[in-house]
Homo-oligomer: A and B are copies of this chain.
Amino acid sequence: MERVIKIGLLGLGTVGRGVYRILQENQESIEKRAGVKLEVKKILVKSLGKDRGIVIPEGVLTTDLADITSDPEINIVVEVLGGIHPTLDYVLEALNQGKSVVTANKDMVAEHGQRLFAAAQKNNCDLLFEASVAGGIPIIRTLKQSLAGNHIEEVFGIINGTTNYMLTKMTQDGSDFQEVLQEAQAKGYAEADPTADVGGHDAARKIAILASIAFNSRIPLHQVYTEGITKITADDIAYANELGYVIKLLGIAKERQEGVEVRVHPTFIPKNHPLAAVGDVFNAVFVRGNAVGDTMFYGKGAGELPTASAVVADIMDAARDIIRDVPGIIGCTCFEEKPVLDIGETHSKYYIRLQVADKPGVLASIALVFGNKEVSLKSVIQKEATGKTAEVVLVTHRVLEQNVTDALMDIKQLSSVLEIANVIRVEGEE
């Protein structure tokens, strides 16, 4: 008896087209591996007439959501529309109609995960979202299943391809932020309004999702400390290189006794760290578990086919669960409530670049302030700049962020300090 699972697709943009293509092109092996035939019965689009560069059989496209959510033959709804409104309502409707849902929507999962999981659980459906973080890299299934025996201590990684492309370029060419941004926009790697990427907000949603799974505690997006790469200069990149580091925009989540740290910011990491070699638009996620030790997962974090690869894997899992009548076999795992620590309560090393007056005693006065605030220094570089100014670059030992913030408040008051040019956290070394 051949069993067919029918799918409703919400959206036929880049990822939707990729999902449709993979289901067609790899049809035979997908059917054998899933143990069931998968068929896209309906696709919700805004306009029936638009040319999408792909042949869709007659009658499959629809502009009416009810053609999908009210069709009892459709068991799986795949959401690749993006955005939150009206997408969230569509997805809740699908779950309430008893459809398993596969989504690639990080915004929706990060901000409304709780409502979505509650609806999935109530209706005994799968809610799968592998594609929402790091595109084709199977990090969510890895955390939920493959590393489930571990106490996860840290998850951190490069989870935004646009900014990784830009930082890679800046490192290779010594070019400045604005220049590289324009190049990335010309290549289609950065949006016309690049705020979500370069401001770190895209990465914040993804690390909120990863941290929630890793620590079994829902991390509200507004509690993720978020800092983008807009202040990174060619000078910072050059100093990083001189000091043995590269600069990456990292999403970082760590569990400590007092609570969890969840943050996104540009980060110095040692050149020999596995993440340092991850260039261009590639993503990689580093996970440390108490049993497995250090692991890393690398691949393309975006794009039509890599993202669709993750969506199709979720569809296959959902289909298997439906045939065996066990949807929801792996559901929400946020069964704890751990406090999210304020950024002032986190610990890190810090790279600090200061513009100072080029006169005797400046360094001593700066060092004194740091000492008073219990910030111990690991290395100091002083360089002459133009005319009467000099540049001081410090790297601290591992210290409490609040102490650094307090020290910098006092340092700003020093008459010989002209500017705190940049402060960047250092991670990935003992």
Contact = CB atoms under 8 A, between A and B. Distances in A.
Interface residues of A, number: 60
Interface stretch (A27-35, A219-227, A246-254): A27-35
Interface in A285-312: 289-300, 303, 305-306, 308-312
A30 to B, nearest CB: 6
A25 B292 CA distance: 14
A277 interface: yes
A195 interface: no
Contacts of A310: 146, 292
A18 interface: yes
A298 B320 CA distance: 28
A216 B147 contact: no
A297 B147 CA distance: 13
A317 B145 contact: yes
Interface in A140-170: 141-142, 144-151
A377 interface: no
The winner among A146, A297, A305 for most chain B CB atoms within 10 A is A146
Contacts of A409: none
A216 B26 CA distance: 13
Interface string A318-334: 00110010100110010
A136 interface: yes
A34 B333 CA distance: 10
A400 interface: no
A149 B309 contact: yes
A291 to B, nearest CB: 4
B274 A298 contact: yes
Interface string A71-89: 0000000000000000000
Interface in A256-287: 272, 274, 277
Contact of A149 (B312, B329, B330): B312
Contact of A148 (B18, B34, B144, B326): B34
A137 interface: yes
B298 A295 contact: yes
B298 A297 contact: yes
A78 to B, nearest CB: 12
A152 to B, nearest CB: 9
A410 B70 CA distance: 73
Contacts of A290: 25-26, 305
B151 A26 contact: yes
Given A22-B149, A30-B148, A141-B146, 11 more contacts: A18-B291, A29-B216, A34-B148, A138-B147, A142-B142, A145-B313, A150-B309, A292-B309, A293-B300, A320-B330, A324-B329
